[in-house]
Amino acid sequence: MPHKVDKEIFDLINKELERQKTFLEMIPSENFASPAVLEALGSVLTNKYSEGYPGKRYYGGNEFIDKIEQLAIERAKKLFGVEHVNVQPYSGSPANFAVYMALCKPGDTIMGLELSHGGHLTHGWKTSVSGMLFNSIPYHVNKDGYIDFEELEELAKKHKPKIIWCGFTAYPRIIDFKRFGEIADSVGAYLVADISHIAGLIVGGIHPSPNKDAHIITTTTHKTLRGPRGAMIMVTKKGIEKDPDLPTKIDKTVFPGLQGGPHDNTTAAIAVALYEASLPEFKEYARQIVKNCQVLAEELKKKGFKLVTGGTDNHLLLIDLTPFGVGKGLYAQEALDLAGIVVNKNTIPNDPSPFYPSGIRCGTPALTTRGMKEKEMKQIADMIYRVIYEIKDYEFSKDKKDELIQKFRSEIKQNKTIKQVRKEVIDLCKKFPLYEGM
């Protein structure tokens, strides 16, 4: 056991466990994996090396590893309704890069949603390898926060991209995969749906699937799917019709193109998560995530908060803090963290600074995993309101940021309202215990 070998790490793990138990985790890309998933992840499978694919390994001793990986593949194919699945990518970003390498050459044109409008780094942002190697043409959201399909179609016809990405990190509405597919088809592009955030909602039947409109689907496995930190690349029937060799291209790009041996313990944990996602109670879980998020959004609006798009259809919402001043995202994140409510600072559309954004992003997957429902969302909305109200008088200026942030951090720690909310958060968490017995 770690406490007998490395007391420092053991103590830090326990402190993190205590933090998770006593904080409200509201970052929408975070969740709590089940004990069964954690057990597979920490199993003896970490001892094995398995370069290659089931039945085609470069090492011996993979009889059971092959069966585990094949189980994960078959479960994913059934859950997502796709023809081919690769479960070996180490994480979401490597999975997306594997797609680039399978479909593109350096310099090819790609399109993804602008990062500050809710897109992802790997969809062509300038500081990502995806934006450095490829000619990235971003599309945007309208003033109302919804995807600007007219701009997307116009840009696609003008630039003829090889790939159009859909699937986002801070978009609170249903994604119109059909419209995306039509635009991609009109210019001969591959439509790649990155469903990392909404995979669990799709499996739960609460969000439309891209399996009939996209050629390739990528996803992480640790967000709404509640699995380990891994990823999958899926090829649809439409993708194979466009290129029959697409599954082989994907597999060869993952291994040996970009990776060595897969993490067999992660593969097993993915298989467990997929099994759990196939159970009837997971559908109710997915429905409750959205119910909770919509109640949270409505309660915040009642208290005067401004939300991007005015609400949510999924697991997350984006709070526009510009009524409190520009650049207040950092202040809000840190004040809420002191109160035991974990969110992340986030850009809102047309935000002037990605480093000091004017919004916060929050969601309900982890809260719902703990068993919280509509009643608790109303309580949490009130807590968020009371904390954010305490930051309204703090100024922010990029010219004086160090001085202003230091002043804020020094004073906010002594704030009586935030200390009171922290006590209420601890009391609420006790009613919804996490990892009992650990």
From the candidates 21, 77, 179, 229, which is the catalytic residue?
229
The CA distance from 375 to 383, in Å, is 13
Instruction: Reply yes or no on whether 46 is catalytic.
Output: no
DSSP string, 375-436: HHHHHHHHHHHHHHHTTTT----GGGHHHHHHHHHHHHTT-HHHHHHHHHHHHHHHHS--ST
- Where in the chain are the domains? 38-277, 285-431
pLDDT band at 2, cuts 50/70/90? low
CATH architecture of 38-277: 3-Layer(aba) Sandwich (3.40)
Q: Would you say residue 348 has pLDDT above 70?
A: yes
For residue 3, pLDDT over 80 is answered with no
pLDDT tens-digit profile of 49-87?
999 999 999 999 999 999 999 999 999 999 999 999 999
297: enclosing H helix or E strand: helix 280-302
Own/partner long-range contacts of 431-436 (Cβ < 8 Å, ≥24 apart): 432/370, 432/371, 432/372, 432/376, 433/21, 434/20, 434/21, 434/32, 434/370, 435/17, 435/20, 435/21, 435/32, 435/35
Q: Round to whole Å and give the CA distance between 80 and 273.
A: 13
- The per-residue pLDDT for 351 is 86
Share of the chain above pLDDT 90, in %: 90
Is the pLDDT at 362 greater than 90, yes or no?
A: yes
State residue 312's pLDDT score.
98
Strands 190-194 and 163-166: parallel
Residue with tokens 């138990």, as numbered in its chain: 21
In the residue annotation, 51 being an active-site residue is answered as yes
- State the Cα–Cα distance between residues 395 and 406, nearest whole angstrom: 12
Question: pLDDT value at position 1?
Answer: 52
Whether residue 388 is predicted with pLDDT greater than 60 in this model: the reply is yes
User: In the chain, how long is the greatest CA-to-CA distance?
Assistant: 65
pLDDT category of residue 395 using cuts at 50, 70 and 90:
confident
Identify the CATH assignment for 285-431 out of 3.20.20.140, 1.20.1740.10, 3.90.1150.10, 3.40.30.10: 3.90.1150.10
Q: Is 223 a catalytic residue?
A: yes
254 compared with 393, residue with greater pLDDT: 254
Distance between CA atoms of 156 and 148, rounded to whole angstroms?
A: 12
Helices (H), 58-193: 63-80, 92-103, 129-133, 149-159, 177-187
Asked if residue 38 has pLDDT above 70, the reply is yes
Cis check for the bond before 2: say yes or no (omega within 30 of 0).
no
Is 229 considered catalytic here? yes
Which one is catalytic: 21, 48, 51, 417?
51
b/e per residue 23-37 (b: at least 16 CB within 10 A):
bbbbbbbebbbbeeb
Q: Is 78 a catalytic residue?
A: no
**Which of 354, 352, 29 is CA-nearest to residue 170?**
29
pLDDT of residue 171 exceeding 70, the answer is yes
Q: What's the CA gap between 310 and 302, in Å, rounded?
A: 12
The answer to whether the 38-277 and 285-431 domains have the same CATH topology is: no
Active-site annotation holds for 409 = no
**pLDDT at position 202:** 98
432 residue type, one letter: F
Catalytic residue among 220, 224, 267, 309: 220
Catalytic residue, chosen from 25, 69, 114, 194, is 194
The chain-wide mean pLDDT, for the chain, equals 96
Of 251 and 327, the structure prediction assigns the larger pLDDT to 251
Q: List, in order, residues 6 or more apart from 344 with CB less than 8 Å away.
A: 27, 333, 360, 361, 362
Of 30, 48, 49, 153, which one is the catalytic site residue? 49
Q: Find the catalytic residue in 162, 223, 328, 361.
A: 223
**End-to-end Cα, the chain, rounded Å:** 13
